[in-house]
């Protein structure tokens, strides 16, 4: 019975660490995005759309949006040098 009280908290912590590791290592890149992978601060490569595994703490993935962004710019009046 005493072994149960010592192994159960350790088992719970191990499960939480495993779930955190799985959540931190799974990355999803959408069709209109690209993922740039940095390994220890240096560019390691670029990934297209899909599901990717990275190494937590060592790798970092930055998502870049490739969609065209259009902005309406209001018209402005300007005086030129030659009027």
Q: Is residue 61 part of a domain?
A: yes
Continuous segment of H or E residues that includes residue 52: strand 50-53
Return d(Cα 61, Cα 17) in angstroms, integer. Answer: 21
Virtual torsion, Cα 6, 9, 13, 14, nearest 10 deg: 50
Q: Is residue 56 part of a domain?
A: yes
Q: Are the beta carbons of 25 and 54 closer than 8 angstroms?
A: yes
Q: Bridge partners of 45?
A: 37
Q: Is residue 19 part of a domain?
A: yes
pLDDT recorded at residue 47: 94
Q: Is residue 7 part of a domain?
A: yes
Q: Is residue 34 part of a domain?
A: yes
**Structural domain containing residue 28:** 2-65
- In this model, does residue 1 exceed pLDDT 60? no
Return d(Cα 41, Cα 26) in angstroms, integer. Answer: 19
pTM of the model: 0.66
pLDDT recorded at residue 37: 95
Q: Is residue 83 part of a domain?
A: no
Task: Count structural domains, the chain.
Answer: 1
Q: Is residue 53 part of a domain?
A: yes
Mean pLDDT (the chain) is 90
């Amino acid at each position: 019975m005493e072994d149960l009280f010592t192994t159960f908290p350790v088992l719970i912590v191990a499960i939480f660490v495993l779930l955190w590791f799985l959540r931190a290592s799974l990355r999803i890149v959408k069709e209109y995005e690209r993922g740039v992978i940095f390994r220890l601060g240096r560019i390691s490569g670029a990934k297209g759309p899909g599901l990717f595994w990275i190494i937590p703490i060592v790798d970092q993935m930055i998502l870049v949006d490739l969609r065209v962004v259009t902005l309406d710019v209001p018209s402005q009046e300007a005086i030129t040098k030659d009027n």
